[in-house]
Amino acid sequence: MMLPIPFQMVLGSILAYYARANIPLATALAWITNPLTMGFIWYGGYRFGTWLLNTPELAAIDPHIPIASLEWFDQIFPYIWQPFFLGNLVLGTIIGSLFYLVIAHFHFSFFKKLFKSDG
C-alpha cells in the first residue's frame, strides 16, 4: 500500500486479518514505504508518469516556494499531479501484479510438490 498516512503497518495487519491473508507478510511489506524511502518511490512514480504522458519534468521549480505551502499548491501542484498520480498508479499495478504472479507460482509449486510427495 502506498498510503501517505502513519501506521501503515497497523492498517495492513488489520486488513490482512479480515481478508484472511498472511498477517506477518502484510506487516513486513508495509515497511517498504517509510519516511526514508517514500520520497524515492514517489519521485520514481512521478518520473514514470512524465514518461507515460510525454510531459516535461519541472526541473526549474522556484526554490523559494516552500513545499506544501499554499503558494506551492497554487503554482506547482497543478503541473505535477497528473504524472504523479498516473505514474504511481501504473507502477503500483504492474509491480503488484508481478509480485502476485511470483507468489502464486511459488504457492502452486509448493502445494504441487507437497501433494506429489504424499502420493
- Residue-wise pLDDT tens digits, 54-75: 988 776 666 777 877 888 888 8
Q: What share of the chain has pLDDT > 70, as a percent?
A: 90
3 state DSSP class of 114: helix
Statement to judge: residues 49 and 99 lie in one domain:
yes
Per-residue pLDDT for 105 more than 50? yes
Q: What is the pLDDT of residue 74?
A: 87
Statement to judge: residues 6 and 44 lie in one domain:
no
Q: What is the pLDDT of residue 4?
A: 56
Cell of 116: 506429489
Mean pLDDT of 11-16: 90
- In 9-89, where do the E strands start and end? none
Statement to judge: residues 15 and 49 lie in one domain:
no
CB within 8 Å of 11: residues ≥ 6 apart: 1, 3, 5, 30
Mean pLDDT, the chain, whole residue set: 84
- Backbone torsions φ then ψ of 57, nearest 5 degrees: -80, 145
* Domain range for 15: 1-34
Length of the chain: 119
Closest residue by Cα to residue 82 from 31, 39, 45: 45
Q: What is the pLDDT of residue 53?
A: 93
Statement to judge: residues 85 and 116 lie in one domain:
yes
Rg (CA), the chain: 19
pLDDT category at 106 given cuts 50, 70, 90 is very high
Statement to judge: residues 91 and 45 lie in one domain:
yes
